[in-house]
Structures are given as structure tokens and as C-alpha cells.
């Protein structure tokens, strides 16, 4: 019997999740979104009634790319969240993946990586051995995390960014697309460039 999946949120991110589930041969029971203007996504109707959230025996994933919104939904809904991993990945058997995390096509993850809950590892990202990604992290397409990197809760690593081995990135930081990170980054910092430089740090206010 196929697993049944529901997706919370009808967004572009949800489209990719839908196609991952379709490739895996899973049954998509429905989508929920609280925006009444959203009627359908791809071939699926979007539900707006809160009773839809009470569907029994369904696995759930949050189809929203924004990290803070994903955290709010996860913390305010007692649903059976589960991880979603595309079939076209190259992933070590020796990793740990938290509930609600989504791993997109083309991703490579090497040995002894730990990924928290409701994270996103996006298309063609590369995560080397012994990295730690906390809850609600988003690793964007083609980003590269070298060995032993740690990423704090809610941090967004932009497309094509490179983080050198052993670097520690704080919570709720933003790493700009194409940045090269060669030193540790504090919580709440925004970093851009090669080498990466802090252009905003909310901790300093």
C-alpha cells in the first residue's frame, strides 16, 4: 500500500515536493493553504478548511521555502511530519535526517552528516562529511558545504555559496548567493562576497 502524503502550503517549493513524491510513486492526498485565492497547484486542488488538517494516517511535509514561516507552522500544528528525499540523490547510508526535512534532486551528502527537522537541502547542493545542519536551515541550489561545517537554526545559505571546512555559521544568518565563507559567522549576520564579509548584523543593534 502506498504512503499517503499531504502538503502544507501551495507554493513553488510545493511543486518540487509534488514531483518528488510522484517520482517515488507515493499517493498525494491533498494540499492545504490558508490563502483562499489559491485554488489549485499543478494537478491538485488546494484545500482551505481547517478540518483538512485532521486527516488520519497521512504523512505531512511543509511546502514553504521561508525558514521562519516553516518554523511557525511546525510549532503550531501537531501533524505527522516526515522527511522527503528525492530518488535522484547520492546520499550516504550513515546520515541522520530529521522529520519534515526535504532533500531535492541531485543532492550529494557524504558520511556522518546530521540534518535537523524541517530543513531544505535544495537542488544539486553538496554536503561533505561530518556537517551538522540544525532545524529550519535552507541550503540553496548548488551550494557547497565542505567537511565539518555547522549551520545554526534557521540559517539560509544562498545559491552557489561555498563554505570551507570546519566553519561554524550561527543561527538565523543569511549567506548571500555565490559567497565564499572562510571564517566563522555569528548569529543573525548577513554575509556576501568572496571572501564573505558581514554587511548586517542584527546582534550589534
Active site positions, annotated? 129
* Phi-psi domain of 28 (left: phi exceeds 0; alpha: psi -120 through 50; beta: other): beta
- Identify the sign of the CA torsion 117, 60, 15, 25: positive
Pairing, β 174-175 against β 180-181 = unpaired
126, 144 Cβ separation under 8 angstroms = yes
DSSP-based three-state secondary structure for 100: coil
Q: Closest Cα to residue 15, out of 98, 144, 23, 76?
A: 23
Distances (CA, A) of 89 to 23, 93, 105: 12, 12, 6
Rounded distance between C-alpha atoms, residue 126 and residue 76, angstroms: 31
Helix, coil or strand: residue 71:
helix
Residue showing cell 504523512: 59
Q: End-to-end alpha-carbon separation of the chain, Å?
A: 55
Amino acid at each position: 500500500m502506498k504512503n499517503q502524503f499531504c502538503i502544507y502550503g501551495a507554493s513553488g517549493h510545493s511543486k518540487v515536493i509534488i514531483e518528488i513524491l510522484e517520482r517515488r510513486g507515493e499517493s498525494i492526498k491533498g494540499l492545504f493553504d490558508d490563502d483562499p485565492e489559491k485554488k489549485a497547484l499543478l494537478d491538485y486542488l488546494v484545500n482551505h478548511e481547517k478540518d483538512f488538517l485532521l486527516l488520519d494516517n497521512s504523512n505531512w511535509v511543509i511546502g514553504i521555502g521561508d525558514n521562519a514561516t516553516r518554523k511557525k507552522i511546525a510549532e503550531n500544528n501537531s501533524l505527522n511530519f516526515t522527511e522527503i528525499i528525492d530518488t535522484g540523490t547520492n546520499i550516504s547510508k550513515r546520515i541522520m535526517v530529521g522529520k519534515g526535512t526535504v532533500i531535492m534532486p541531485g543532492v550529494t551528502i557524504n558520511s556522518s552528516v546530521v540534518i535537523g527537522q524541517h530543513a531544505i537541502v535544495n537542488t544539486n547542493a553538496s554536503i561533505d562529511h561530518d556537517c551538522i545542519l540544525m532545524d529550519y536551515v535552507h541550503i540553496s541550489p548548488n551550494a557547497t558545504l565542505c567537511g565539518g561545517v555547522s549551520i545554526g537554526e534557521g540559517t539560509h545559505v544562498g545559491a552557489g555559496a561555498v563554505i570551507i571546512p570546519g566553519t561554524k555559521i550561527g543561527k538565523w544568518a543569511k549567506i548571500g548567493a555565490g559567497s565564499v565563507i572562510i571564517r566563522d559567522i555569528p548569529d543573525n549576520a548577513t554575509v556576501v562576497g568572496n571572501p564573505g564579509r558581514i554587511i548586517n548584523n542584527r546582534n550589534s543593534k
